[in-house]
Amino acid sequence: MNTIPKHVASRTLTEVKWNATLLGDDVVDAVRKLKEQPGGDILKVGTGGSFSRTLLEHGLVDEYLFWLFPVIAGSGERLYDGIDTTDFDLIEVKRLTNGVVGLTYVPNAR
């Protein structure tokens, strides 16, 4: 993990370390340019927040992996508050022995 290049979206940072690069003020353009480069997949860790909403709104997410844990928590924010309905197709299910389920979705092309 230490050698993998990291790209940081931030409204407050002016510099980053640990093999990282700031995406800059126009994160949509920066992510589009990253997607055009050769080299494999781009992984964004975490689901909520304005950056996730921005990526979804601009069609920059090719695949979602949601891990479903058998725990109920009674608080927290909605993952994509303010986003209109987006349909997805389930393409893979991974079931772990501890009850955790990994669900892989792609945006619906309809």
The answer to whether residues 28 and 68 belong to one domain is no
Residue 100: per-residue pLDDT: 96
Would residue 50 count as lying in a domain?
A: no
The answer to whether residues 38 and 80 belong to one domain is no
The count of structural domains within the chain is: 2
Would residue 36 count as lying in a domain?
A: yes
Would residue 14 count as lying in a domain?
A: yes
The answer to whether residues 35 and 70 belong to one domain is no
Would residue 54 count as lying in a domain?
A: no
**HEC states along the chain?**
CCCCCEEECCCCCCCCCCCEEECCCCHHHHHHHHHHCCCCCCCCCCCCCHHHHHHHHCCCCCCEEEEECCCCCCCCCCCCCCCCCCCEEEEEEEECCCCCEEEEEEECCC
Would residue 68 count as lying in a domain?
A: yes
- Per-residue model confidence as pLDDT tens digits over 95-107: 999 999 999 999 8
Per the structure, the complete domain to which residue 98 belongs is given by: 62-110
- Per-residue model confidence as pLDDT tens digits over 10-43: 889 999 988 899 998 899 999 999 999 998 888 8
Across the range 74-91, mean pLDDT stands at: 78
- Per-residue model confidence as pLDDT tens digits over 34-71: 999 998 888 888 767 788 888 988 989 899 898 999 98
Would residue 55 count as lying in a domain?
A: no
